Amino acid sequence: MPGEPGETVRLTSLRRTYGDGPHAVAALAGVTAGFAAGTFTAVMGPSGSGKSTLLHCAAGLDRPTGGTVAIEGTDLGALDETALTVFRRERVGFVFQEYNLVSALTAEQNVSLPLRLSGRAADPDRVRSALADVGLAGREGHRPGGLSGGERQRVAIARALVTGPAVVFADEPTGALDTRASHGVLRLLRGLVDSGQTVIMVTHDPVAAAHADRVLFLADGAVAGDLAGPVGAETVACRLAGMAGMEVPA
């Protein structure tokens, strides 16, 4: 289904099975969810609940076994590999826990990569402005090895944003950062959403989820809860503890 008005991403009956026969694992067992434009969603759930699989399928990095993903009304399943690659480059940003920067390239060169790959001129002003937007003006010539973890993640976020994507997917973007750097990255993501960007983030951290507008909980590959925010970190932690079968204080 193409999606509801005002929704940037729509997942319909999304399934992803790994392997077949008796050893098949249903990582996603039929997830239906919509993500409104300009909103920040945290996806949470126990280890193995399907969070990364959901993000990878929704971003067009992995093909679902069943169901559909629509981004801005485009059904990703209807695209062949080449068209999907082009669509992803143009309309989707992805931020990884381990940054995935090219160590031999400067910050500026890393950020210009998506533009170069899509055959567009890597306008230096545009690249510098993307770096300035994440608080890294003046660091254009630094290589990842000369930047802190938080700064590297900011470069990765600038790289995800430089094409002006419809949606940014972030898989544990603060998972490798200390508390202070995490806070900076979360405030940055929050600010992007407040300026209209749609962000969908997988996290284990209730404090990170508290920056989102909504928390979508997964368990065993299915939606197990959907809290509209702002949702406090304590509420999120209690919900997670409940899902893990731990005793939750009244």
Instruction: Point out which residues bind ligand ATP (CB under 6 A).
Output: 18-19, 25, 27, 45, 47-53
Count of CB atoms situated within 10 Å of the CB of 156 = 27
Dihedral sign computed on CA atoms, order 12, 233, 169, 124: positive
DSSP 125: H
- Shortest approach of ligand ATP to residue 88 CB, angstroms? 19
Widest distance between CA atoms in the chain: 58
- Shortest approach of ligand ATP to residue 237 CB, angstroms? 16
Compare residues 53 and 68 and give the one whose CB is closer to ligand ATP.
53
Which residues pair with residue 167 across a beta bridge? 92, 198
Residue closest to 223 by CA, chosen among 3, 5, 80, 12: 12
Pairwise CA distance, residues 72 & 20, whole Å:
32
Compare residues 63 and 116 and give the one whose CB is closer to ligand ATP.
63
- Shortest approach of ligand ATP to residue 27 CB, angstroms? 3
Compare residues 55 and 115 and give the one whose CB is closer to ligand ATP.
55
- Shortest approach of ligand ATP to residue 105 CB, angstroms? 28
Compare residues 44 and 71 and give the one whose CB is closer to ligand ATP.
44
Is beta strand 7-18 parallel, antiparallel or unpaired with respect to 25-36? antiparallel
Cα 20 to its chain centre, rounded Å, is 28
- Shortest approach of ligand ATP to residue 215 CB, angstroms? 14
Residue in the structure block whose two tokens are 């899902």: 243
Contacts of 113 (CB under 8 A, 6+ apart): 102, 105, 159
Pairwise CA distance, residues 44 & 205, whole Å:
8
- Shortest approach of ligand ATP to residue 26 CB, angstroms? 8
